[in-house]
Structure 1
Amino acid sequence: MSEIVDGLQILAPDALPILAELDSRDASLWLMPSFAEAAGPEATAGVLSLPWEFVLSETASEGLLKSVDALDSSIGSPLVRRRGLVHVIDVPPSNTVLPPRSLPIFLLNGRNEADKAGFAARARRMEMIMELQQRGVRNLVVLGGPDLTLPVELGQLWQDGFQCGLTIISDDPEARQKITEWQADAGARRVTLLPAPAALLSEALHRRYTERADDRLIIRVRDAQGARHRVELSGRDDPEHPLLGNYELLSEAHLEYVTPEGLTSEEINGFFQDPSASWRPYAAQMPWSRDDRARNTLTKALQHLDRNGPEASRMFYIRAESGAGATTFIRDLAFGAAMDGYPTLIATQAPFTPSGRSTEKFITSCLNGIASAEIGKGLRQYEAPWLIVFDRSQWEGREGDIATFARQITEAGRRICIVFVTDALLPVAIYSEKRLEHLCDLSHEISQEAAMDLGRHLNRFLRPLGTARDAQEWQAFVNHSLVGPAAGHSVFWIALAFWLQRQIDLTETLQGWLYEQYEQKVADPVVRRAIVDIAAMSTVRQLLPETLLPRSEDFPTRDKLSDLQSTVGALGVVRQRFDTVSHWAMIHDQLGRFLLTGLFYDAPARDSVGLTEAQNPDHLRLMVLARIASNPMIAHPDLVELAETFATSIFKIDPGQGRSEFALYWREALEALDAMPKAFRMTSRTFLHHVSVSRRRIAKDDSRFSITDDERADLLRRATGDIEAALALEHDPGGETDLNLYNSLAHAYHDLADVEARRGMSAEQVAGLRSKANKATYSAYRLNPDNSYVLEIYARDRLTGANEDPDGAASVALEVLGIVYGAMQRETAELRRNALSKLADQAFDLLLRSTVAVHHAEPSSESEAIQQALSALGEGMARRDGTSLEDFPRTNRIEAAARLGHPLLRSNAQAVRLRYILACMDHPNDFALQLELLETLDGNRAILSPQLDLELALLMHQRGRHHEASRRFQKLRQLWARGEHYVEVPERLRWLLDESTGNRRPVRARIASGGDGARLHARVQELQNDRVPFRIAEFDGTQLRPGVSISGLISFGHNGPLLRPLTAG
């Protein structure tokens, strides 16, 4: 029972309308002293412990704070899993860094009387209350109690234009009158009164919420023989940094079988509108099987992982046209793998940056839980491979980073397959990954036969609802599923969803129908603009945070959109909530393009939303996106990642990497970036760097951008200034690295020097610019001398500088050859081989230009010894274009190595380095010589790159110096933890070898105590009883316990030795 009088809705005392909002953490709480006193500390703390978005408390009584401190904080608690841990905060929110999932309780008046008075107290209180606006709170519950007094600031918020759903809980006999008077003063239109006593409300709300649906996490997992088991993994996720806030782990509840007749019309229509909304259609086998080969390939890869361990991990990419059903396809693949007992993570649509390290920690925690469940008793220890699935949004513009993500997981010994969707050409660098495979292509093209088969399949689900289509209707749809006569391309899968819901017929195009819905059914100008903003963000595959919606003067824009859900839903507009942040989006980016194209050709409507100056649909999109980017709210810390996306992706001008969407309007794109809030722009290293990259690309590309050298110089000076400003900012973990910034700074100064030289700048000033470029290059090289891009520009700088210093030319040539040939020996160098070879050619040319004649008598100087060695290397070679070190005759290489060993060069780091490379090629098993050379380098205080440092540790193991090697690996692991380093274990050092035979050396080990459930440690006799990890799943038998002896082999990875079974490899 309820009644509504003058905008005040009065509910029955036992009604609890806020349970649904608590499920989605879409409600916040304001606690008044009267309620806390009436309910008592424990009951009040019970209410506060529910998953509110946050709590504002007017009271901080000792009893209440003690009860809050006593709340269950174990990670196994359902409430902790849902809202994280409770954080009681008595300082301004800006002074507090909260974890991604948490329940903050803001003490508005501090903890004691001394905290209530003074300017600082007022400022703290106002900042806490402003969280209501900053977070865009949708529902606010005021716990008023028997003596209702509403906060003064509440009315002021409404008078300033803030509005949200307001529920007041109070059994004050005068509550109705007080609220009515407050409404009149504040101008609040919709308020709900729940006249419930504090004690009864507290008990009922806490009991009814905690008794709701079971939220235990139970997954299906296979054992060593393929049998499936149910294992509970509740409490395995970090409650404050939950991985499952950004991923779904397919659970047993998702996999329960559903008959086609068991799906409701809402579930079927919901599947067509948003295939990620529910797993029930997948459980009913509603998705049509489009490519069985892809499913079979993935299944075989998972089975291969079963047998061969982490080395068999794979990354599969699906190239898909926009709207071609990729979301449904990958979710169906994920569902099938989970049914087979392979734990499966699928990323949500939440905007986040995937972290391999946090994913690995979660998987390892789950494996510990699986191990403790003791499934498959009597069988060998087994670790089920995991499948991780991404739609295109997570790696948009950062596809190259997925290799790092995978490496961070597999380096810990986890077995994974990754499937990700892209519609772009992948970065060149990622193709060097041996684990990368193309799974399939998805497009809107479909044959007549396949379309009819699809129709028969879907009719199984539509027939029970009376909405099946006959064969003639299907045939007609296939023939007409074009955007329009001028469009020339099919949008079959997008149109299908609307046609099956009988929203469009075959007499109209999807684009025409969509714009007609917008024009006829959306009248409110603020809502029209909001939908335009949502459409524009969807075209760049970004969600629009609710806090960036245009402001409405009467009701909140989000509420207007929700009230029009039946209409905006037909437009493909949906609201999505991730933890405590809500977003709006269109279900397909193509729908956004259709809507904006229709808007462009409707001049009056275009004028009404302030887009009169748009020159074409793409220019209109840019104008809308620029307007969103300039919103001051985008500077909020919660939106920094989205704000940076405008520089890294949306307005990025980098045609060489496929970023040319707004290249025609590059000036307006840069102006839009400059118009973003200064508080964000000048504090983001990522933003400053990527805007600088765009400016440099424009300045450097003469063919695409016809501008004067004066303008090019201005762009480059701005680029160098912004990069230097970024370097002056403190580096945050996960942010733009110094390495990237120095690399870009070097390029920008080189380009600026070239432009200024053309403009007639003095030679001295140009030299000054090149000197700055060289300093930046050297800084990058010191940070990571193994990075191929860094070493290329470093080698190029060294060669350029040597042209001006003939006396040092031979030494520079030797250094460059050592760097280049060392890089070319690595497996991942294949894609950079041509560039590296050209640098080697330039080094030889430099040597030839600087040498008058080479005498074979005893050298009298280092320079002469270097010339003799390199001449011996090139002896008899007609040309060297594109050659690698392997192309030189072996006799030449041996002679060159001998000459590099001359006493004059014993302390020359570059000579020792090249000699080491030659020794690895021609004497791969002479570990004594190789170790001697690397120790010479190390002792000379040369820059020993992480790659060479790794090889030094490996050679120490090969030579029996295991304790020294162990200490060196300990330092290397600390280095890996501090940043990204691309190192490889050379094949010759992959296994512990018997130097006398060159064969892999069997070892004996005794299992030690400790381990993480997936890995144990053993003391290996042949490694001086050093503790070495091993994977339980790789060793047969069930008697793996401390003290048991086992035999095996030793393989080496970047983290050190690993005990493997005798059959490994």
Structure 2
Amino acid sequence: MNEIVDGLQILAPDALPILAELDSRDASVWLMPSFAEAAGPEATARVLGLPWEFVLSETASDDLLKTVDALDSAIESPLVRRRGLVHVIDVPPSNTVLPPRSLPIFLLNGRTGADKAGLAARARRMEMIMELQQRGVRNLVVLGGPDLTLPVELGQLWQDGFQCGLTIVSDDPEARQKITEWRADAGARRVTLLPAPAALLSEALHRRYTERADDRLIIRVRDAQGNRHRVDLSGRDDPEHPLLGNYELLSEAHLEYVTPEGLSSEEINGFFRDPSASWRPYAAQMPWSRDDRARNILTKALRDLDRNGPEASRMFYIRAESGAGATTFIRDLAFGAAMDGYPTLIATQAPFTPSGRGVANFITSCLNGIASAEIGKGLRQYEAPWLIVFDRSQWEGREGDIATFARQITEAGRRICIVFVTDALLPVAIYAEKRLENLCDLSHEISQDAAMDLGRHLNRFLRPLGTARDAHEWQAFFNHSLVGPAAGRSVFWIALAFWLQRQIDLAETVQGWLYEQFRQKVADPVVRRAIVDIAAMSTVRQLLPETLLPRSEDFPTRDKLSDLQSTVGALGVVRQRFDTVSHWAMIHDQLGRFLLTGLFYDAAARDSVGLTEAQNPDHLRLMVLARIASNPMIAHPDLVELAETFATSIFKIDPGQGRSEFALYWREALGALDAMPKAFRMTSRTFLHHGSISRRRIAKDDVMFPITDDERADLLRRATGDIEAALDLEYDPGGEPDLNLYNSLAHAYHDLAEVEARRGMPAEQVAALRAKANKATYSAYRLNPDNSYVLEVYARDRLIGANEDPDGAASVALEVLGIVYGAMQRETAELRRNALSRLADKAFELLLRSAGAVHDTEPSSEGEAIQQALSALGEGITGREGMSLDDFPRANRIDAAARLGHPLLRSNAQAVRLRYILACMDHPKDFALQLELLETLDGNRAILSPQLELELAILMHQRNRHHEASRRFGKLRQLWARGEHYVEVPDRLRWLIDESTGNRRQVRARIASGGDGARLHARVQELQNDRVPFRIAEFDGPQLRPGTSISGLISFGHNGPLLRPLTAG
């Protein structure tokens, strides 16, 4: 029987309230020697091996450590899948880098008696104990044993203001008295005593947890004929770097059918509050079908992948207004695909940066598991396509990176469709990547017929609960305008969720109701500020980590929020926990805006939370976000990515890229960045770089930012200094690469030189600034000569330099045209076409200024030959703005190419490069000429970009020089492994061609031994018996054994040739 005596809750000895916290890894444990001695090493080790957040141990006996080391570490183990591997740590935590999922056991006193003494030992112990505070531990279990002695530091923590749920396990007869005295000294309010013997507690806790910890991962997957099968993929995820810590893989448990009557009122209301909370409403078909066309397009795309392989992989975006039901919509799409047997990953709301390689590795591991299950036995080998779904938060501000993410997966031979949500106002990066396709648009607009149909659909689920709405109520809801003040547009889907839960009526607006709930029901000033902070972070679609909540002097703020859950839940405030990190958020960013707008117009409440100076709702948001950014806790290593987001997104001033939300208050935004903890600011390359980008954008924009040249120069000097400081920092994988920094540094120095020239700086000092710009440009160009941003800066540098060297103007013009037109031929250069075209125009203008009259006679010098060739290219064209080489008359191109082949230019790398581009356009199947030109470039020791290196290797294959090509591809694969390079195979080189017919060349191959389960290799006769990989799933036949002969085609990718079936697209 449980009882409460003087604020101390005493449980029955067999009570185990800790189980729920273990499920979410929301509890930590402090082991005392008395407990370990009473329970014995084996029982103690089993308890320590449960999925705690972390363990503090006062004992480190040899027997205990040996038993801990012997704990099950098999990745198939449910415990290992839940908490990762055990790491025993006897050094300060700051000296240890733990994997994302792990169970650290901190030995407070080291491993030996000698480790207990001395300053270093005390510092190590204190740092380990401070993990309680730094991690924001919510529940702490002290395993006290029969002779209870509480750690001295425990009371000191409470006296310093730390508070958490505290459970003490001890069967000491004097435990109640000892705890009561400790509570009085420490000022602890909530303590629970579990008077269980150590051995009994150890056995019961381990047994009852492991009985319920079987979380096998069984998915539904289709075979070659579309039949569905159940496959167990347990143990396929890396236990220490789990992909499924950031994604859900829809399993059979999620797909089990639920009747409408089978949903409880809690599940239905929970679905309206947070549609990502459970899959059961989707299994009951509760989401209303809004756009069957989108579902049909996605289904067709997955079917195409069935037939055509990774080349048919697709990327779709859904353009959605805030709160318009995008989360429900994408989850319903994901559920439908999983029901059809397409393995489906859906990203959680956890803050993380998606990695294509990580997803590719996970999919490959799962495919190996599917292959070993032998589904569809007797049918052809088959690889089911995967669907990967993202809500808005994962790619916001980084939409341009999604193509790289997809490429990393398809390069591994995996078949995928990606669906992600973006803003109704499309980001610029969406326009830049033409491979992104619009799947559908979601808004708050809905027709009357659709609204009534929605009502009939939802009433099927509401009627069993007695909460169905009549037709006239649905009509009235549709007719009534439920908008916030000055919103000026419908918020139908947000209002619907509150109306169906009977939280608002038709006489009030969502904004008015929401703010009134906040004003009336949240009285505690700390909780008020916490909700304001959560709302502000939600408006920028970020979660607020629990460790950044404002501090409360009595109870922890997180517990106050939890105690008010019935109230804050109505406000749309939810707590989310990912592995061992907890966050708070509002379910819609629009709700955060409503709340902050209401706060701004309530002067008394605004004053009470320290926001008196706010000028308007947006300025108020800026002030709240700046306050959060200045919190010293944001410098913690676990929060670095969030801290960097303040520079890369929240306070970014970049109107050209759609980031002008706080442009009116740019000085305060930059000041907020400068007020962030110095320990973070001066050690983050990303932060320093993006702060510099904002300063440069402000300095460059004369219209939006009418400031003096003196202030522009100050901004640019600060920008160059910060970028150089970033370059001095060591590069960490995944951080800001040197390429981006050098490129921005070149821009900043060019801009600074321009401003200083206007301010009257001496010419030699301006020249010194331009020299620094040129040096940065060349550094970037050496790192990646294929990057269009780098090419733009490099070409601009060359043109500026040519203005000061008229004798070399023709050669520079030729070089710039070769670079620019080569970039414009690339598929991804679409957005940059105008910028690149302007550079081409400047190159032609330079040529015309330097050439004088061009005579059609035998040239006497390289410069004259170049002038004649480029003049022939532009013959008869008056306006070249926006033109690429495709737009020039073909006769002009052929004439120019012939002139570029003049003997005077055969060793001129720039002439050869432009001639190669022209040859590829006008003689696409003349592989002999193309190879000759690239080998000339290679022999002249010109910088051969990775793109040209790739084309050279493929051309060697086309010309039957297969061994040489194979060696070059080997070097290219090493290059890809060392860094990120974007290259693509041109359509003319996609397949091995029979030059005599111009058709794809059929080859014969014999299967070789070896392979990875998804791919095998074959020796291809026409490639001089070179080993070439092929995908098992693409070739018919129940078994493909070594020695079997097969026919096929050869396609080329960035890694080399690939054997494809004769039916390949």
1:933 aligns with 2:933: yes
Distance across 2 between alignment mates of 1:731 and 1:146? 52
- The answer to whether structure 1 residue 197 and structure 2 residue 184 are counterparts is no
Taking a change above 3 Å as real, the CA distance of residues 83 and 912 of structure 1, as seen in their structure-2 partners, is same
**TM-aligned CA deviation for residue 838 of structure 1:** 2.6
Q: How many residues align?
A: 1065
- Following superposition, the deviation at residue 14 of structure 1 comes to 0.9
Q: Does the CA-based 8 Å contact 1:109-1:115 persist in structure 2? A: yes
Q: Is the 8 A contact 1:481 1:495 kept in 2?
A: no
Name whichever of 882-891 and 254-263 sits farther off: 882-891
Report if the CA contact (8 A) 1:403-1:430 is conserved.
no
Deviation at 1:495, TM superposition (A): 1.0
Alpha-carbon distance in structure 1 between the residues aligned to 2:357 and 2:253: 28
CA displacement 1:106-147 (0-9 Å, x = unmatched): 111111122111111111111111000000000001111111
CA contact (8 A) 2:321 2:424 kept: no
Distance 1:717 1:601, change over 3 A: same
Q: In the TM superposition, what is the alpha-carbon distance from 1:943 to its structure 2 partner?
A: 0.8
| 1:827 Cα deviation after fit | 2.7
What is the deviation of 1:166?
0.7
CA shift, 1:489, in A, is 1.5
**Partner secondary structure for residue 30 of structure 1:** strand
Q: CA deviation at 1:628?
A: 0.4
For residues 1059 and 310 of structure 1, the distance between their equivalents in structure 2, rounded to whole angstroms, comes to 13
Q: Say which is worse superposed, 22-31 or 931-940, in terms of deviation.
A: 931-940
- Note if contact 1:313-1:435 (Cα within 8 Å) is conserved in structure 2: no
Secondary structure in 1 matching 2:1027? strand
Q: How many angstroms does 1:856 deviate by?
A: 5.1
Q: Percent identity?
A: 93
Q: In the aligned structure 2, how far is the partner of 1:886 from the partner of 1:548?
A: 56
1:482–1:488 Cα contact (<8 Å) kept: no
Give per-residue Cα distances to partners, 1:658-703, cap 9 Å, x unaligned.
1111111111111111000000111111111111111111111111
Does structure 1 retain, via aligned residues, the 8 Å contact 2:320–2:441? yes
The Cα shift of 1:1005 comes to 1.1
Following TM superposition, by how much is the alpha carbon of 1:857 offset from its aligned partner in structure 2, in angstroms? 5.1
Q: Is the 8 A contact 1:399 1:426 kept in 2?
A: no
- Deviations for 1:966-999, whole angstroms, at most 9, x for unmatched residues? 2211221222223222211112211112222222
Q: Which moved more, 1:430-439 or 1:816-825?
A: 430-439
Query: How high is the TM-score relative to the length of structure 1?
Result: 0.98
Residues in 2 aligned to 1:333 and 1:981: alpha-carbon distance in whole angstroms: 33
Alpha-carbon distance, 1:878 to partner:
5.0
**RMSD (Å) for aligned C-alpha atoms:** 1.5
Which sections of structure 2, spanning at least 5 residues, go unmatched? none
SS at match of 1:141: strand
Q: Deviations over 1:167-204 (max 9, x none)?
A: 11111121111111111111111111111111111111
Query: In the alignment, is the contact (CA less than 8 A) between 1:36 and 1:145 conserved in 2?
Result: yes
Other structure's SS at 1:772 match: helix
Whether the aligned pair in 2 keeps the contact of 1:337 and 1:387 (CA below 8 Å) is yes
In structure 2, the CA distance between the partners of 1:881 and 1:602, relative to structure 1 (3 Å rule), is: closer
Does 2:479 correspond to 1:469? no
Go from structure 1 to structure 2 and tell me whether the alpha carbon gap of 1:425 and 1:519 turns closer, same or farther (over 3 Å shift).
Answer: closer
Task: Give the direction of change, closer, same or farther, for the CA distance of 1:499–1:663 in structure 2 (3 Å limit).
Answer: same
- The 3 A distance-change label for structure 1 pair 532 and 809 is same
Name the residue aligned to 1:227.
227
CA contact (8 A) 2:931 2:956 kept: yes
Contact kept in structure 2, 1:400 and 1:426, CA below 8 Å: no
Distance in 1 (CA, whole Å) between partners of 2:166 and 2:307 is: 58
> Which stretch shows the higher mean deviation, 48-57 or 179-188?
179-188
- Within 2, Cα distance between the matches of 1:1026 and 1:34? 68
CA distance in 2: counterparts of 1:432 and 1:694, whole angstroms: 21
CA distance in 2, matches of 1:543, 1:55: 27
Distance 1:484 1:782 in 2: 54
Larger displacement relative to structure 2 (132-141 or 481-490): 481-490
CA distance in 2, matches of 1:485, 1:126: 52
**Post-superposition offset of 1:552:** 0.5
Match of 1:104, SS? strand
Q: Deviations over 1:867-914 (max 9, x none)?
A: 333334444555544433344444544443344334433332212212
**Shift in Å, 1:476:** 1.5
Deviation of 1:387 after TM superposition, in Å, equals 0.7
CA distance in 1 between counterparts of 2:999 and 2:299 reads 35
2-side partners of 1:895 and 1:817: how far apart? 16
Structure 1 stretch displaced more, 60-69 or 851-860: 851-860
How far did 1:519 drift? 1.1
| CA contact 2:400–2:433 (8 Å) conserved in 1 | no
Which stretches of structure 1, 4 residues or longer, exceed 6 Å deviation after superposition? none
Residues 747 and 773 in structure 1, CA contact (< 8 A), matched pair in contact too: yes
What is the CA deviation profile of residues 544-603 of structure 1, one whole-angstrom value per residue up to 9, with x for unaligned ones? 100000000111000111111111111111110000000011111111111111111111
The more displaced of 993-1002 and 402-411 is: 993-1002
Residue 318 of structure 1 pairs with residue 318 of structure 2: yes
Q: Could you tell me whether the CA contact under 8 Å between 2:387 and 2:417 is conserved in 1?
A: yes
On the 8 A contact 1:1048/1:1062 being kept in 2, the answer is: yes
Per-residue deviation, residues 908-931 of structure 1 (Å, max 9, x unmatched): 221221222222233322322322
CA distance in 2, matches of 1:955, 1:429: 33
Q: 1:890 to 1:522 in 2, by over 3 A?
A: closer
SS of 1:394's equivalent in the other structure is coil
- Paired residue for 1:334? 334
For residues 156 and 948 of structure 1, do their structure 2 counterparts lie closer, same or farther at Cα, with a shift above 3 Å needed? Answer: same
For the 8 Å contact 1:281–1:287, the answer to whether it is kept is yes
Structure 2 CA distance for partners of 1:871 and 1:494, relative to 1, 3 Å: closer
Distance 2:1016 2:109 in 1: 52
Give the superposition deviation at 1:834.
3.1
Change (3 A) 1:484 1:577: closer
How big is each residue's C-alpha offset from its partner over 1:249-305, in whole Å with a ceiling of 9 and x where there is no partner? 000000000011100011011001100000000111111111111111111111111
Do the aligned partners of 2:526 and 2:552 also contact (CA within 8 Å) in 1? yes
Query: Could you tell me whether the CA contact under 8 Å between 2:319 and 2:426 is conserved in 1?
Result: no
Do the aligned partners of 2:427 and 2:658 also contact (CA within 8 Å) in 1?
A: no
Distance across 1 between alignment mates of 2:737 and 2:815: 26
Aligned partners of 1:26 and 1:52 also within 8 Å? yes
For the 8 Å contact 2:78–2:213, the answer to whether it is kept is no
Alpha-carbon contact 1:781-1:790 (below 8 Å) kept? yes
- Taking a change above 3 Å as real, the CA distance of residues 762 and 369 of structure 1, as seen in their structure-2 partners, is same
SS at match of 1:392: coil
> Structure 1 residue 442: deviation in Å?
0.9
Q: Secondary structure of the residue that 1:81 maps to in structure 2?
A: helix
Q: How many Å apart are 1:1032 and its aligned residue?
A: 1.2
Contact 2:163 2:555 in 1 (8 A): yes
Q: Determine helix, strand or coil for the equivalent of 1:516.
A: helix
CA contact (8 A) 2:384 2:415 kept: yes
1-structure distance, mates of 2:8, 2:882:
81
Out of 420-429 and 667-676, give the one that drifted further: 420-429
Instruction: Indicate conservation of the 8 Å contact 2:138/2:164, yes or no.
Output: yes
Is 2:628 the counterpart of 1:639? Answer: no
Deviation at 1:23, TM superposition (A): 0.2
After TM superposition, the structure 1 = structure 2 runs for residues 709-858 of structure 1, keeping only pairs within 5 Å, are 709-855=709-855, 858=858
For 1:468 and 1:884, the matched residues in 2 are separated by: 62
Please tell me whether the aligned partners of residues 400 and 427 of structure 1 are also in contact (alpha carbons under 8 angstroms).
no
Structure-2 separation of matches of 1:444 and 1:997: 57
8 A contact 1:950–1:969 mirrored in 2: yes
**Cα separation, 2, equivalents of 1:459 and 1:340:** 27
Secondary structure in 1 aligned to 2:743?
A: helix
Distance 1:711 1:718 in 2: 11
SS at match of 1:239: coil
The 3-state SS of whatever aligns with 2:56 is strand
1:188 — aligned with what? 188
Following superposition, the deviation at residue 484 of structure 1 comes to 4.6
Structure 1 residues 855 and 290, CA gap change in structure 2 (3 angstroms): closer
Structure 1: gaps (5+ residues): none
3-state SS, counterpart of residue 741 of structure 2: helix
User: Post-superposition shift, 1:486?
Assistant: 4.7
Secondary structure of 2:426's aligned partner: coil
Q: CA 1:876/1:282 → structure 2, altered by over 3 Å: closer, same or farther?
A: closer
Q: Conserved in 1, the CA contact under 8 Å of 2:653 and 2:697? A: yes
CA offsets 1:442-481 (integer angstroms, 9 cap, x no match): 1111111111111111111111111111111111112224
| Alpha-carbon contact 2:428-2:657 (below 8 Å) kept | no
Offset of 1:430 from its aligned partner? Answer: 4.1
8 A Cα contact 2:383 2:1033, kept in partner: yes
The CA deviation at 1:7 is 1.7
